[in-house]
Structure formats: structure tokens, C-alpha cells
């Protein structure tokens, strides 16, 4: 694919692909993505403060990516032509937004970022082709991500013949994963959103041990779940309110499910059968 056809944000992420990053370096990479519009103008000291690491860590991060130092990395970021994410208020230059308005604007920016990244559907298609044939198909989400997993599983069950939701941790989680693998499961979809439960990592480890392919939808490409994922699909969460908001991960999940429909034999017929059954049972009111 011509890199000119790829969204600038996606090209920024590609700078980090293929490199084994330490936890501190992942924080730096995540910080650069979060502040993509300003990254080309920030000093290594400013990046260090934003990421909560030392300035030498930023220099080592740049060298890990193959640059002589942070100035060379910053020059490369400038050449990506990233849009200014500072944004201008529709109410006028310098207008003060309320906390809730800022939160909504952040979610809009997150969705715009996701829209840009979807100019390249390669990872989505790969994920769909891993998940669609799995019988049963496991969907994992704990604590903050449990609602995301439950919503996705609800809709997936309309087109996939056997979807199993895993939304509770503990020792039973590994049991259920092993039982599903014995029943023929080949893949698991995981929603990994902050804060990341330790039990989630235990579940992913159990899935890999059982031989399952793992697709993860996480808030960023450097989440702890990435090391245990065959395909990692990032979608940012909003952090402006007391509790995180996750419109972009939800939308990415729906895009993934939409792509899977073409990979599941009989999906359309199964969906039509559900609608007929729902109508005959009067499940929904007008």
C-alpha cells in the first residue's frame, strides 16, 4: 500500500511496529500517539514529563527505533504531516469549554482518529478471518471491559452459531477457556481497557497455552495484552471525566463484527431467522 494513502496517525504507529519496547518505552509511544498533533514540536524533556519517565529514557526510546537520538525522531514525526490535534472551538478562538464539553470533544477526536486508522483494513480483515471460523467463539472482557464484551457478544450471537462470553475472572476462567478449546474453539476476542485486571492477563495466558489465536481490542497498541495477542486493534478511550469513556473501542468492535459477517457461512440467513423469530414472539415494541 502507498503510504500516502495511510492516515498520518497510522503512519506514526508504524514507527513503533516491529520493535520490542520496554514498559517505559510503551508509555512514551502511547504519549506520542495521544499528543500526535503536538509531538513534532515537543522537546524530549516535555515528552518525558508527559509520559512520566526520565529524559534519557526518551533518548533511548528514539535509539531503539533506529534513530540517532530524539531530534531525529522528532524530525521524522514532522515529516508525517500530523494534523494539529489542539483543535479550535466552534464557539470561537480561545473560547473556554466546560469539562463535559471537553469530554465530548475528546470522544469526537478519538472517533476521528479511529476513522483515519481504518483507511488500512489489513489488521481488521486478519482478525475477522481468525475469529469467524472458531466454534465456539470466545469473547473476554473483565471489569471495565465487561460491558464492551457483553455488547459485542450479544450482536455476534445473531450471526455466529456459538458465542461464549467470559466476563468473570478467577480460577474458573482458565477452566472455561480450556473447555472451549476442547470443544473446538480456535480463537478468542478480548476487550482490554484500563485499568487492566491481572486476571485478564491470566486468561490470555491460558488462551495461548490452549492454542487459541487471540485478537485484542485495547485502548492503545502498547497495552499489556499486546504481547499475548496475535492481532492487536487499538482504539483510544476518553479520560476527561472521572470514569473513562469508550466510544471508539465500541465502534471498532462493531467494525470488526461487520467484517466478520462476510467470513461466517450462513450469517445473513441466521440474522433473518432471528428477525422472523423475534417478530413472531413479539420481542420488540414499535
Q: Cα dihedral sign for 237, 240, 244, 250? A: negative
218 φ, ψ (degrees, to nearest 5): -130, 170
Q: What is the pTM of this model?
A: 0.75
Position 92 confidence tier, pLDDT thresholds 50, 70, 90: very low
Q: Is the peptide bond before 147 cis (omega within 30 degrees of 0)?
A: no
C-alpha–C-alpha distance, residues 152 and 167, integer Å: 12
Q: Where are the alpha helices (DSSP H) in 65-98?
A: 70-79
Count the Cβ atoms, other than its own, within 10 Å of residue 100.
10
Residue 245 is given by DSSP the state B
Beta bridge partners of 234: 218
User: Cα 260 from chain centroid?
Assistant: 17
Note the pLDDT tens digit of each residue in 198-246: 999 999 999 999 999 999 999 988 899 999 999 999 999 988 788 899 9
Position 140 confidence tier, pLDDT thresholds 50, 70, 90: very high
Q: Where are the alpha helices (DSSP H) in the chain?
A: 8-14, 23-34, 36-39, 44-51, 55-64, 70-79, 99-117, 122-131, 146-156, 171-183, 198-209, 247-261, 267-281
Note the pLDDT tens digit of each residue in 9-24: 667 888 887 788 888 8
User: Cα 270 from chain centroid?
Assistant: 28
Residue 34 has pLDDT above 70, yes or no: yes
Q: How many residues does the chain have?
A: 286
Q: What is the pLDDT of residue 147?
A: 96
Residue 231 and residue 130 in contact, taking contact as beta carbons nearer than 8 Å: yes
183-220: burial string, b at 16+ Cβ within 10 Å, e else: eebbbbbbbbbbebbebbebbbebbbebebbbbbbbbb
Q: What is the pLDDT of residue 94?
A: 45
Amino acid at each position: 500500500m502507498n503510504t500516502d494513502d495511510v492516515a498520518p496517525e497510522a503512519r506514526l504507529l508504524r514507527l513503533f511496529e516491529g520493535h520490542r519496547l520496554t514498559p517505559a518505552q510503551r508509555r512514551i509511544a502511547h504519549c506520542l500517539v495521544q499528543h500526535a498533533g503536538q509531538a513534532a514540536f515537543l522537546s524530549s524533556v516535555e515528552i518525558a514529563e508527559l509520559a512520566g519517565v526520565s529524559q534519557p529514557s526518551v533518548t533511548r526510546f528514539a535509539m531503539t527505533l533506529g534513530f540517532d537520538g530524539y531530534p531525529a525522531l522528532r524530525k521524522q514525526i514532522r515529516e508525517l504531516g500530523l494534523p494539529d490535534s489542539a483543535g479550535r472551538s466552534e464557539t470561537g478562538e480561545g473560547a473556554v469549554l466546560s469539562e463535559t464539553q471537553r469530554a465530548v470533544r475528546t470522544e469526537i477526536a478519538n472517533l476521528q482518529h479511529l476513522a483515519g486508522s481504518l483507511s488500512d483494513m489489513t489488521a481488521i480483515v486478519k482478525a475477522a478471518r481468525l475469529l469467524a471460523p472458531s466454534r465456539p467463539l470466545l469473547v473476554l472482557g473483565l471489569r471495565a471491559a465487561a460491558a464492551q464484551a457483553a455488547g459485542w457478544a450479544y450482536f455476534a450471537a445473531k450471526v455466529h452459531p456459538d458465542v461464549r462470553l467470559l466476563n468473570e475472572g478467577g480460577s474458573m476462567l482458565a477452566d472455561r477457556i480450556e473447555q472451549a478449546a476442547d470443544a473446538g474453539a480456535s480463537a478468542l476476542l478480548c476487550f482490554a481497557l484500563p485499568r487492566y485486571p491481572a486476571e485478564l492477563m491470566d486468561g490470555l495466558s491460558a488462551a495461548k497455552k490452549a492454542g487459541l489465536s487471540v485478537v485484542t481490542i485495547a485502548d492503545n497498541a502498547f497495552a499489556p495484552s499486546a504481547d499475548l495477542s496475535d492481532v492487536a486493534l487499538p482504539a483510544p478511550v476518553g479520560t476527561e471525566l472521572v470514569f473513562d469513556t469508550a466510544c471508539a473501542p465500541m465502534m471498532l468492535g462493531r467494525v470488526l463484527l461487520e467484517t466478520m459477517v462476510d467470513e461466517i457461512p450462513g450469517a445473513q440467513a441466521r440474522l433473518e431467522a432471528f428477525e422472523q423469530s423475534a417478530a413472531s414472539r413479539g420481542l420488540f415494541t414499535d
